[in-house]
A = this chain, B = another copy of it.
Amino acid sequence: MTPKKELRIGLIGTGLMGRTHSNGYKRIGDFFPELEYRPVLKAVCSRNEENLRKFADQWGYESVETDWRAIIARDDIDAVDICTPNDTHAEIAIAAAEAGKMILCEKPLARTLAEAQRMVEAVDKAGVQNTVWYNYRRVPAVTLAKQIIDSGKLGKIFHYRANFLQDWTINADLPQGGAALWRLDADAAGSGVTGDLLAHCIDTAMWLNGGITDVSAMTETFVKERVHQLTGKVQKVSIDDACIFHCHFENGSLGLFEATRYARGHKALYTLEINGENASIRWDLHDMNRLEYFDYADESIVRGWRSILVTDSDQPYMKRWWIPGTSIGYEHTFVHQVADFLKSLETGEPCAPTFQDALQTQKVCEAVLESAASKSWKDTGAKGI
């Protein structure tokens, strides 16, 4: 067997995304054995030294760092994986690019469009491989949706709708800020559900249905004040708890998006639907191995929505896993993204979504927040990705 080329990873951040990414790297060899590159867990970085050691031991990182600059400074690291809160993405990514490192950045790319643009400039200037972890593209059922759409089966598109509904912040006693709850702190997160949840919906939407040209949005902050974990004081909540917008796509179809953390009964209900002249598609993260498909070409009396169990070897990614009828889960989307990133190193192609792609999503997010603030329609300037 030819020895594999190494992709030496420096992971920054040891939260939930640090775990999903680490798992992604570690499983590649078992399920994608033909790839030329293999990830090596060279170093992991966090400011909390105790947790850091534990994390490194558990996941098998060769070394630890407590300052991300040290990761970037190391010669034995090829790629920097950014899993830290959003307020650090730009600084780390730009420094990494300047140091010639490849970058795998957790979504959203940045807190603001301005930050995102500087990040894109940095990777463009440095010419380093880059990708953003919008992982839901690589749910096999969603990838299959992309294949069906690209095949032209849907015809002219009329509607696209998506929502991402959660209920975990309803309790007004939940604090904001700090290691676990930075997503409720606008300084750290940039925004609330717009960057956290809608960004996912927008990335998938523009990948499946092209660019979003203009938006009209509404946001709401249901709990106005929360204790801040860092200060211990009751402070104003600045994030959006909920965000709804409608929009136009370049192809003339209408879009409708909603995200919230106040939809009692829904844990992570990301659903999407696209309606074309000839066919329609639906998907639901809570039943992620299924795709629903309606084909008007079916004989009239037996026409109906098909519930496709996406577990067969001729469906995207599924030949890697088990047998028809047996499902995979959330974590596999990250494995798929690692595999595709490694493959991109062989082919020299970009690994979508790139920073440039994620910038388009950032443009829509920014327009959405501006639209909500100004109570007016906003052009996005985004291109399809």
Check if B166 sits within 8 Å of A325, measured CB to CB: yes
Query: A311 — which chain B residues lie within 8 A by C-beta?
Result: 267
Residue A63 at the B interface, CB < 8 A? Answer: no
Place the interface of chain A in its size category.
35 or more
Q: Complex Cα distance A308/B144, Å?
A: 22
Residue A383 at the B interface, CB < 8 A? Answer: no
- What per-residue 1/0 map shows which CB atoms of A246-263 lie under 8 Å from chain B? 101000001010101011
Check if B218 sits within 8 Å of A246, measured CB to CB: yes
Query: A260 — which chain B residues lie within 8 A by C-beta?
Result: 158-159, 254, 275
Residue A314 at the B interface, CB < 8 A? Answer: yes
Number of copies of this protein chain within its complex: 4
Check if B329 sits within 8 Å of A314, measured CB to CB: no
42-73 of chain A: CB within 8 A of chain B: 54, 57-60
Query: A33 — which chain B residues lie within 8 A by C-beta?
Result: 54, 57-58
Residue A8 at the B interface, CB < 8 A? Answer: no
Query: A161 — which chain B residues lie within 8 A by C-beta?
Result: 258
CB distance from A192 to the nearest CB of B (A): 14
Q: A258-B161, A300-B314, A304-B308 are in contact. Are A325 and B263 (CB under 8 A)?
A: no
138-164 of chain A: CB within 8 A of chain B: 144, 147-148, 158-159, 161
Check if B158 sits within 8 Å of A254, measured CB to CB: no
Query: A246 — which chain B residues lie within 8 A by C-beta?
Result: 218, 244-246
- What per-residue 1/0 map shows which CB atoms of A287-330 lie under 8 Å from chain B? 11111111110101111111111011011000001111111111
Query: A326 — which chain B residues lie within 8 A by C-beta?
Result: 267-268, 285, 329-330
Check if B293 sits within 8 Å of A304, measured CB to CB: yes
Query: A343 — which chain B residues lie within 8 A by C-beta?
Result: none
Query: A26 — which chain B residues lie within 8 A by C-beta?
Result: 30
Main secondary structure of the interface of A (DSSP, over half): mixed
Q: Among the listed stretches A15-23, A89-97, A125-133, which one makes contact with chain B, having 4 or more residues with CB under 8 Å of it?
A: A15-23
Q: Complex Cα distance A285/B322, Å?
A: 14
Query: A352 — which chain B residues lie within 8 A by C-beta?
Result: none
Query: A288 — which chain B residues lie within 8 A by C-beta?
Result: 327
Residue A370 at the B interface, CB < 8 A? Answer: no
Q: A262-B275, A265-B280, A296-B264 are in contact. Are A218 and B306 (CB under 8 A)?
A: no
Q: Complex Cα distance A289/B329, Å?
A: 10
Query: A265 — which chain B residues lie within 8 A by C-beta?
Result: 275, 279-280, 294, 296, 305
Residue A170 at the B interface, CB < 8 A? Answer: yes
Q: Complex Cα distance A331/B1, Å?
A: 28
Q: Complex Cα distance A290/B212, Å?
A: 35
Check if B218 sits within 8 Å of A254, measured CB to CB: yes
CB-contact partner of A30 in B59, B170, B303, under 8 A: B59
- What per-residue 1/0 map shows which CB atoms of A26-38 lie under 8 Å from chain B? 1101100100000
CB-contact partner of A302 in B278, B287, B293, B328, under 8 A: B293
Query: Which residues of A come within 8 Å of B, CB atoms?
Result: 1, 16, 19-20, 22-23, 26-27, 29-30, 33, 54, 57-60, 144, 147-148, 158-159, 161, 165-168, 170, 216, 218, 220, 222, 242, 244-246, 248, 254, 256, 258, 260, 262-269, 275-280, 285-296, 298, 300-309, 311-312, 314-315, 321-332, 375-377
Residue pairs across A and B with Cβ atoms less than 8 A apart, 15 shown, are A16-B322, A22-B30, A29-B60, A30-B60, A33-B54, A158-B260, A158-B262, A159-B242, A216-B375, A264-B294, A287-B287, A304-B306, A304-B308, A326-B330, A327-B327
